[in-house]
Structure formats: C-alpha cells, structure tokens
Structure 1
Amino acid sequence: ALAFRCPLVPTKTERLDGSRFRLTIYPPLELPDTGDRKEDLAILMGRMNELLEGWIRERPEQWFWVHKRWPD
C-alpha cells in the first residue's frame, strides 16, 4: 500500500448465528508519508494493530489464533 500509495481498506467478518456472517467495510486507513519508509511502515502497522486490537476487545470469542501472534 505504501509503495504504490494504494488505499488500505480494513474489513471485518463476524460470525452471527448458524451460518450467517456480517461483513463490515471501514474507511481506508490514512497512509503516512514522513519521507522515512521504515517510520511510515511502523506508523501504518501501529494503526492496523490498534484497529485489530479494538475488534478483538469487542468480541474476543470471534478470534482464534493458530500461531503465536504476540510473543512473550
């Protein structure tokens, strides 16, 4: 997204009852442009992780990791 300045559009899928799901599409994340690629990546990843953290806190039962996402 940063390399080509493409919109990064967050989406969230929630399981409802049975085999029903809800897809939520959020506004594109603001792409940082500090002139420092590493800093821009860190900023963007921070924004993505904040969004993901919020989703997990709202409905933790919806999330199951098959790998260790956050190391000790």
Structure 2
Amino acid sequence: MCSGFRYSRAATSFPPAPHTWSATCTVPEPRQAAPGDESGRGLTLVAALADAWGTELREGGIGKTVWFELAC
C-alpha cells in the first residue's frame, strides 16, 4: 500500500480501502526485494495474504486499479 500512497495522484483514504489506483498503466507484479531495498515488498505481501488480487485498467484509459479480497 505504501506505493499506492507514494505514487498515486488520487486522494487515498486511511485506513486503506481494499484497492488503490495510479495514473500509470504498467501492470505490477510481485518481486523479490533485496534486504536493503526501501520498496518492493507491498505486492508480495498482498499476494501472500489475500485470497485474490488483480489489476484492472481504469475507464478512459488513464491508469489502473489494484484490488484484493480477503475471506472472512
């Protein structure tokens, strides 16, 4: 979620809703962050903890939404 707060140009609520969006259309993928990296762990955590997650291009072709679902 840190990337969503850091790079999103949208107003983001806190606590975070189960989605965020950004103005880029690049589809994110989980990656292995090096121990000294300051970023790169968020989506790996989402993929490990969520029951489902994904991305959708936003209407109008500007940016994407990243969402996740948690089973109760």
Relative to the length of structure 2, the TM-score reads 0.24
Higher-RCO chain (CA-CA 8 Å, sequence separation at least 6) = 2
Q: Give the helix-richer structure, 1 or 2.
A: 1
